[in-house]
Amino acid sequence: MHAEHPTTAVRTREPGTEGCATAVAHPNIALIKYWGKRDERLVLPRTDSLSLTLDVFPTTTRVRLAPGALHDEVTFGGVPAQGEARRRIIAFLELVRERAGLPHRAVVDTENTVPTGAGLASSASGFAALAVAASAAYGLGLDPTALSRLARRGSGSASRSIFGGFAIWHAGRDSDPDPDLGSYAQPVPAGDLDPALVVAVVDAGPKSVSSREAMRRTVDTSPLYRSWAASSEDDLADMQRALLRADLDAVGEIAERNALGMHATMLAARPAVRYLSPATLTVLDSVLQLRRDGVPAYATMDAGPNVKVLCRRTDAHQVAGAVRAAAPGGSVHIAGPGQGAHLLDEAP
């Protein structure tokens, strides 16, 4: 039987009735990674990916239309956004305005709860929450699939955070009549896994290379990229079967090999992109030791040195203890499957 993973709970509002909406979204961790775009403007990936949306570190975003204002106002926790983060949010609002046929600028306030440098892309929860709040405030009335496509334009991984539990993001094909329409996420059926992800933050410093730049460099220069992309297709098919039969060991093995392969492509880029640190390897050793001790635990790493360990929820505290002992300077968080992005009721 398939477990009921929480999926999206997006409610639509009457278009443009209030001009104000608040949404919440959670980060997701890819078990089959997204690494490499085939279209930078439309944010179309080269491969399909598959993730688990978490129940920790929500992002809450409020969008209020400001008719007559000359500029958008964008704040994070009340502090004006700067630089690239601000530029990307305003470019996203332009896209929403174009679709809505409304010229109004907006006031956008975002509260992130991700611990600084946790290596959990706040761009995934951030653009998923912004897509849901902005499309409601501008009265677009989008369904979850359309919201996923829209969130993708902000940040690729955000397409998956529209949905709860396990989600697959289809790359789509260049032969699609409209390539934008072919690339969206949807929930993935899974058996009763009762998974946990133990997040080990081993280094909270800023990353040396942005994931955007790192994936561009990998696609352009790594001789290993093509073979990883091909094997990732096989990994995805294996992963979907493993999820259906609720085989946590297989899910973990596939996720671990897919992540290590992605990091191998980066190490072979010119110049190399190396996110893994000595502390990362120490945590990976502790995960191997857990397995030798009979505890099913499998690691995945993203564009940073931190490690996320997939295990059974019943083993999560033991896994967290082992990981904490391996990386005593860091912090460890236990997450489970979380909900998709959704609107919050506005105070009357």
Q: Shortest approach of ligand 2P0 to residue 35 CB, angstroms?
A: 6
Beta-strand relationship, 37-39 and 28-32: unpaired
The continuous run of DSSP H or E covering 61 comes out as strand 59-66
- For ligand 2P0, the closer of residues 36 and 330 by Cβ is 36
Distance from C-alpha of 158 to C-alpha of 211, rounded to nearest angstrom: 14
Instruction: Kindly state the smallest distance separating residue 141's Cβ from ligand 2P0, in Å.
Output: 25
Q: How far apart are CA 195 and CA 302, in angstroms?
A: 19
Compare residues 168 and 322 and give the one whose CB is closer to ligand 2P0: 168
Closest approach, Cβ 73 to ligand 2P0, in A, equals 23
CB of 123 to ligand 2P0, least distance (A): 4
DSSP 232: H
Q: Are strands 166-169 and 49-53 parallel, antiparallel or unpaired?
A: antiparallel
Q: How far is the CB of 88 from ligand 2P0 (least distance, A)?
A: 8
Q: Which residue has the tokens 């934008």?
A: 180
Tokens of 106: 């907006």
Smallest distance, ligand 2P0 to C-beta of residue 43, A? 5
Alpha carbon distances (Å) from 95 to 101, 135, 151, 246: 10, 10, 11, 40
For residues 135 and 218, which CB has a smaller minimum distance to ligand 2P0 in the complex? 218
Q: Residue 237 has which token pair?
A: 């098919």
CB nearer to ligand 2P0: give 110 or 123. 123
In the bound state with ligand 2P0, the residue whose beta carbon lies nearer, of 64 and 298, is 298
Asked if 37 and 212 touch (Cβ cutoff 8 Å), the reply is no
Closest contact distance (angstroms) between CB of 66 and ligand 2P0 is: 26
- Identify which of residues 120 and 196 has a Cβ nearer to ligand 2P0 in the complex: 120
Count the alpha carbons within 13 Å of 276 in the hemisphere toward its beta carbon: 20
Closest to ligand 2P0 by CB, 203 vs 315, is: 203
Nearest approach in angstroms of CB 156 to ligand 2P0 is 3
- Alpha helices (H) in the chain, listed in sequence order: 83-100, 122-137, 144-154, 158-161, 211-221, 225-244, 248-267, 278-292, 316-326
Nearer of residues 51 and 135 to ligand 2P0, judged by Cβ: 51
Residues forming beta bridges with residue 63, ordered by sequence position: 21, 108
> Which residue is listed with tokens 């085989």?
247
**235 CB-near residues (< 8 Å, 6+ apart):** 32, 254, 257, 258
The 8-class DSSP code of residue 68 comes to T
Which residue, 49 or 135, is less far from ligand 2P0 as judged by CB? 49
Q: How far is the CB of 336 from ligand 2P0 (least distance, A)?
A: 18
Q: Which position's Cβ is nearest ligand 2P0? A: 156
Enumerate residues 6+ apart whose C-beta is below 8 A from 149: 159, 180, 181, 183, 184
Write out the residues near ligand 2P0 by the rule CB under 6 A.
30, 33-35, 43, 49, 121, 123, 155-157, 211-212, 302-303
